[in-house]
């Protein structure tokens, strides 16, 4: 891919994420443990279920 295309795609994706992202607790305080636990739980469980345990 052309570098300009990659740059534009990256910019559009980040702009969309700023508008559409969900407010999730493991994004508030990013400690390695919280990130690791959320990654493991989200591999096997829906976000809605993980939220009740987090």
Q: What is the sign, positive or negative, of the torsion defined by CA atoms of 37, 42, 48, 49?
A: negative
The active-site residue out of 4, 29, 39, 48 is 39
Total residues found in the chain within this entry:
54
Query: Among this protein's residues, is 48 annotated catalytic?
Result: no
Q: What is the sign, positive or negative, of the torsion defined by CA atoms of 12, 41, 43, 40?
A: positive
Active site residues: 39
């Amino acid at each position: 891919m052309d570098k300009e295309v990659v740059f534009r795609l990256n910019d559009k994706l980040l702009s969309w994420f700023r508008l559409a992202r969900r407010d999730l607790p493991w994004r508030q305080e990013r400690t390695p443990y919280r990130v690791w636990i959320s990654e493991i739980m989200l591999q096997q469980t829906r976000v809605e279920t993980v939220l009740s345990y987090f």
